[in-house]
Structure 1
Amino acid sequence: MDKTKHLVSVIVPCYNEENTIQLLLNSILKQDFPIRDVEVVISDAFSQDKTREKIMEFTQAHPELAVKVVDNPQCTIPAAVNAAAQASDGEYLVRLDAHSMPYPDYISTCVRDLQAGKGTNVGGVWEIRPGTDSGIARAIAAAAANPLAVGDARYRFSNQEGEVDTVPFGSFRRDLFFEIGGFDESLLTNEDYEFNVRIRKQGGKIWFDPNIRCIYFARKNLNELAKQYWRYGFWKFKMLKRYPDTLRWRQALPPVFVLVNALGILLSPFFGWIILPYLSVLGLYCLILLLAGVREAIRRSEPGLIFFLPAAIMTMHFAWGAGFLMSILTKK
């Protein structure tokens, strides 16, 4: 193991993030943690926009923050994290995304919790913000923090500290990262959840601290959202094939719902008695989502959420479930 030069290495997978990379770097610069003890390692998958130019602009303007860029030729998130970790020299690794903005006490709280032994991997709350200033983008951000869309994933909405199955991003000791084996590069998504499974199976704890907060910019439109959640569902099944005991109820519902809808549509022409119960279930589902939209529209004083929020949640459910079912049908 190389001699440690920094106490903390912030590791960042990155691809085409010219609009947000400087926001991230500035938020790291403004941390209440001693900046001399922090380095940032960005693993870039050969961005085609001006991401690297934006990084260079920042480093020239702020030489007090150590920033290094490493290549990610495999162009996947787990490979990016592994490459950044390999190039790092910190005692602790704090993983962030290029389209995120940690609160000023993010690093200090992560390190404090790790040093206090609260968890092997420590993380906190995703404070979801719209990816752009549009009604549907605001609905997507609201959906990403709504229990109807994300179930009991506490990091989306909870204020209760405690042990959980996973946290977003996470922070952990560098030596632990390599002892566990790093991120599994055969999983293009769910690699962080699988990493946490290995930690737990070796007796470690995943700790959620609501005082650890990070702003995360959600997808901009329903097309991007559908692709994201289809990918989540597809790779979740691949991970569950290895660790079936990690299945949570929130993960089982979307594929069951998609399957019920598919069977309802296919069988209704042949079995007329199916139509009424099928439409009743579908109608109840739509009513629940519509009521959630009304509630959120009133709470946020934004009438468009009455319809946009149900559309976003429905997209998440169907895309995740369809991806999961498609993964079952593939051999790999």
Structure 2
Amino acid sequence: MTPEGLPSLPERPGVSYIVPVLNEAEHVASAITTVLDQDYDGEKEIVVAVGPSTDETTSIVTTLAAGDPRITVVENPPGDTPSGLNAAVAATQHAVIVRVDAHSELTPDYTAAAIDTLQTTGAANCGGLMVARGKTPFQKAVARAYMSKVGLGGPAYHSGDEPQEAESAYLGVYRREVFEALSGFDSTLRRGQDWELNLRIREAGGLVWFDPRLEVTYWPRSSFKKIMQQFHATGIWRAEIVRRHGSKNSLRYLAPPLLVVGVTASAIEASLQLTGKTRTWPRFVRRVSSLIHVPSLAYVSAIAGAAATAKDCGPRERALFGIVLPTMHLSWGTGFLRGLVTGAGSTTDKSR
């Protein structure tokens, strides 16, 4: 798995694209089309793992497959992302495996640039920049939050950076040896399975690489309810990964749950003040307890500042941006705290 241990790739290796889908009738055709339109002259195949969808996803995918021999459809009865990814990988044949999501669209040169990155760096996996975009004012506000360091921050693939060794990669362009050596994605992780596989790659001595040339358009969820459901589930599963892997996780994952604790403490203290229950406390205790509000006020100021200074958008999108940010943070944080206490169990992402 080390860069020195991976065999050299041919100039134009065959590429297998794996696409897990569930209830993605709105996006799946576009995602597959961007794969078919890749400006790459090596051999290509697309394996779509279809979960038990309740919309038109299955019929859309089977119709596309009937018209193009490069598309193969496999079933994913559990409907979970990692099981779909593993089922798709098992049906592939080429040396390079590219993960694609139904909510994503690849730029035409994505594959060629990724192959070049694998060849020049010796990486076992590489990924690039997730370029979130929206069609409605709400979706545009969510996309802005994804790309903002105040929003998700941390990983280079959210806000762009120089080419560098990375902790994880968005989607990922893998050497087949990864799946042969590490047995693929952990099917017990319904979310966060990419990060966990990249952890195992790094522990095995493999290189994970970020290259900003690799741009993927991502279309976020389209309503507050779906964003809350998505981020709550993500927080729960991140806590499950922390329970399993402890200090191997970045400290940045503690920020949202600490925010939830801070806001809750501030709300409790404010309630006690309003009901007069703090009047009997010693003056020193009252002064110290009032400091509980400082982190929450600082957070509100940061969100207000980010919304006020947001560029290239109108008042409505700016206001939505200011609401979306805490929605993401608090949903993720409450999910994390729940998952830390109870574990993820059978939690699913109900936004799908």
**Under a length normalisation based on structure 1, what TM-score does the superposition of the two structures give?**
0.91
CA distance in 2 between partners of 1:26 and 1:247 (Å):
36
CA distance in 1 between partners of 2:125 and 2:186 (Å):
16
Residue among 31, 43, 52 paired with 1:24: 31
- Residue 161 of structure 1 is matched in structure 2 by 163
**Structure 1 counterpart of 2:264, which letter?**
A
> Aligned-pair distance for 1:99?
1.7
Aligned: 1:55 with 2:57: no
- Residue 228 of structure 1 is matched in structure 2 by 230
For residue 300 of structure 1, give the secondary structure of its aligned residue in structure 2.
coil
- Residue 102 of structure 2 is matched in structure 1 by 98
- Check conservation: 2:103, 2:218, Cα contact below 8 A: yes
Deviations 1:34-66 (A, max 9, x none): 26x0000000102222222222333444x3x50
Identity %: 27
CA distance in 1 between partners of 2:180 and 2:84 (Å):
15
- Residue 170 of structure 1 is matched in structure 2 by 172
- Residue 10 of structure 2 is matched in structure 1 by none
CA distance in 2 between partners of 1:173 and 1:166 (Å):
15
> Aligned-pair distance for 1:271?
4.6
- Residue 285 of structure 1 is matched in structure 2 by 299
Deviations 1:149-203 (A, max 9, x none): 1122110111311011111110111232131121111111101000011011111
**Structure 1 counterpart of 2:177, which letter?**
D
CA distance in 2 between partners of 1:79 and 1:59 (Å):
21
**Under a length normalisation based on structure 2, what TM-score does the superposition of the two structures give?**
0.86
**Structure 2 counterpart of 1:110, which letter?**
A
**Structure 2 counterpart of 1:330, which letter?**
T
- Residue 317 of structure 1 is matched in structure 2 by 329
CA distance in 1 between partners of 2:336 and 2:223 (Å):
21
For residue 61 of structure 2, give the secondary structure of its aligned residue in structure 1.
helix
- Structure 1, 165-174 or 256-265: larger mean CA deviation: 256-265
- Check conservation: 1:293, 1:305, Cα contact below 8 A: no
Residue among 247, 250, 273 paired with 1:248: 250
CA distance in 1 between partners of 2:84 and 2:249 (Å):
26
After superposition, where does 1:1-332 map in structure 2 within 5 Å? 7-34=14-41, 37-61=43-67, 63=68, 66-130=70-134, 133-268=135-270, 269=272, 271=278, 273=286, 276-296=290-310, 299-330=311-342
**Structure 2 counterpart of 1:321, which letter?**
G
CA distance in 2 between partners of 1:159 and 1:29 (Å):
28
- Residue 3 of structure 1 is matched in structure 2 by none
CA distance in 2 between partners of 1:118 and 1:152 (Å):
24
Which of these two proteins has the greater Rg computed from alpha carbons? 2
- Check conservation: 1:290, 1:307, Cα contact below 8 A: no
CA distance in 2 between partners of 1:293 and 1:282 (Å):
17
Aligned Cα root-mean-square deviation (Å): 1.8
- Check conservation: 2:62, 2:73, Cα contact below 8 A: no
Change (3 A) 1:312 1:118: farther
- Residue 6 of structure 2 is matched in structure 1 by none
* Runs (5+) with no aligned partner, structure 2: 1-12, 280-285, 346-352
For residue 72 of structure 2, give the secondary structure of its aligned residue in structure 1.
strand
> Aligned-pair distance for 1:116?
2.4
> Aligned-pair distance for 1:112?
1.8
**Structure 2 counterpart of 1:79, which letter?**
S
- Check conservation: 1:229, 1:323, Cα contact below 8 A: yes
- Check conservation: 1:102, 1:213, Cα contact below 8 A: yes
**Structure 2 counterpart of 1:83, which letter?**
A
**Structure 2 counterpart of 1:303, which letter?**
P
Change (3 A) 1:317 1:222: same
For residue 16 of structure 1, give the secondary structure of its aligned residue in structure 2.
coil
> Aligned-pair distance for 1:275?
6.1
For residue 307 of structure 1, give the secondary structure of its aligned residue in structure 2.
helix
CA distance in 2 between partners of 1:101 and 1:205 (Å):
25
CA distance in 2 between partners of 1:301 and 1:176 (Å):
42
* Runs (5+) with no aligned partner, structure 1: 1-5
- Structure 1, 50-59 or 74-83: larger mean CA deviation: 50-59
Count of matched residue positions in the alignment of Structure 1 and Structure 2: 320
- Check conservation: 2:15, 2:95, Cα contact below 8 A: yes
**Structure 2 counterpart of 1:14, which letter?**
V
CA distance in 1 between partners of 2:45 and 2:103 (Å):
18
- Check conservation: 1:150, 1:250, Cα contact below 8 A: no
For residue 43 of structure 1, give the secondary structure of its aligned residue in structure 2.
strand
CA distance in 1 between partners of 2:278 and 2:124 (Å):
54
